Structure 1
Amino acid sequence: MRLTEEHQELRAAVRALLVRHPGETAWRPLTRQIGVAGLAVPEEYGGAGCGALEVHVVMEELGRTPAPVPFLGSAVLTTQALLAAGDAELLPGLAEGSAVGALAWAEGGSWEPDAVRAAARRGPDGWRLTGVKEHVLDGADADVLIVAARAEAGISLFEVAVDAAGLGRERLVPMDTSRPQARIVLDGVAARLIGTEGNGDRVLRQVRDLGCVALAAEQVGAAERCLELTVSYAQERVQFGRPIGSFQAVKHRLADAYVQVEAARSAALGAAFAAAEGAPELPRYAAVAKSACSEAFSAVAGEMVQLHGGIGITWEHDAHRYFKRAHGDGQLFGAPARHRERLAEELGLLV
């Protein structure tokens, strides 16, 4: 499993751009200069026609910052939901980056498709949706809103106009403020069916796997950066007349963190290759990657705070940003324990 020279060039371009355009200012140049919004969109819909490996590279670099851009929610979740549903009408705008998409999916703190309770009713004037959605990435500012709801034929996907009557979008304040979330309230909101009625369960399961694969790459990039910053600090910080990195106890902890980062990298890259090849075992790879990378990032971010000492818990240092991102990412799309359970189900170990 090796990335190509083209992948490394993409990595270098994204990294250099994020240095020039830190924070929220990065999204416009990322879309206009590199075309990340349409990276995984087929060329006939205005995208680059790339796949999971290119998404992996971009997500790794975004994790190193961590950049508050809507790539995961719009270019991964929303785009992949539309592709899986077979509805291309909204793809050109998303691919261009002129529109940001949001997929309203989770309910009751659960990302399981079976947990969807929002109701879709078809009447003489078309579809109407009623329900509440939680943890909607970029949901308060999205230009395109896709909602999963339960129709007579099963879970289905719908497009809802962001200014529709009966739609409420509440901006939330999560622990990780660099990943905006919203609560979406639907009260008889008019909607357009995406794809075919009843296709939502299959689409959401596929999107969850691809979302986990992309998120795992971000977690690896962030954990790697945490380790780099901590090693650098351990070489500079002096206690008892010597750099703290020269103490055996600190060396052991940094070595353990390095092993965790590299093991997570293998899991994330394996899942990205499985996604790129359309492997039927993708759900297994995605579950492994989400579980392993979530726990590795949390552990390494925790070590970053600990080994930085007092400065590691100050607002001025970036350690708290990575620690909060690690906590949020660990719960996004389901906690590690849930994905280990998913893996056991896939392997037939649960009865």
Structure 2
Amino acid sequence: MKLLFLACLSPKTGNHTTAERIRSHIESAGHTCELRDAAEFQSPAEVAKLVSRNSPFEGALAIHLFRAGRLLLDIQVPFGVIFGGTDINEDVKVEQKRVVMEQVLLKARFAVAFTDKLKEEAELFLLSQSSKICVQPQGIQTEVSEKLCWAEFLRSSGVSSEHVDELRVFLLVCGLRRVKDPLYLVEVFSEWHCENPLNVLVIIGPKLDPVLTDEVEAVVKRTAGVFLAQERSQQELHAAMKRCFAVVNSSVSEGMSAAILEAMDLGIPVLARDIPGNAAVVQHELTGLLYSSPQEFVDQSQRLLSDHELRERVVRNGKLYVEEHHSLKQERETYQRLVDSLH
């Protein structure tokens, strides 16, 4: 079966990684899956024309109901959709977008939500299509590069310290866009760093919003203890996560943060902003720590520094959680079964 797969493919983003992983699941079952960036297309008519060409596609798939799913509305072959976080957490608030998303969901043969919470939200805000929506958490597999030199990584990020091995590096993994709120913790973290210079915050991720990137770069330049690292390959990012003290999430909304799950898989504690998407995967004091304000972030970080039993517990349980609930094998089987339903 030949499939067209549309997703937002900004390099080194969670969306891109997820799309590549799902594509590999589909192709491992013997299908042909052509992954294309939704940004390449201006209208559903363009996609319909592509689908019906000489070597026609027999089905389609899209991640994100509005950004990619709407482009499938004119095609004459069956398709399935995968909810992102932004579509259910943000886009449903805009009536024009919500109506389009309902049309996509009505026409889709199946829909995938990463969490039970996302499925509930979809059923609440969109025309109820409960029987179409299945829950399949992201499958997680981490791979650590042996090439990353930790001291060089920190130096290149602007961290200058003779005591590299004594530093407690909090790694905020996020693409630079508003929904990730990368500056949320900057002020309070800088104050904390001034009290204890061994605590540093490194923000790392692709520069997706040029205006916000300029803002982040300007703020970081004048803020003590906070640094901005160049984006790295997935394997190098995992190596950096493996060396840091904790992985941080400060997003306003999330579908399912792959960085959080990857940190758990790597045995690194997670400090995540207490929002529904994060609370769906981080159980406070069991698999990670949640915070609701910048000051509470510092409070929870200090607990993590002083309470070794707490740190060991969240690391142990986080890894077990990923092994039990984010199986790559289970994810592969689910998508292969769903694609078979497009025949």
Q: Please indicate the TM-score interval, normalised by the length of the shorter structure.
A: under 0.3
Superposition TM-score, scaled by structure 1 size: 0.27
- Greater helix content: 1
Normalising by the residue count of structure 2, what TM-score does the alignment of the two structures yield?
Answer: 0.27
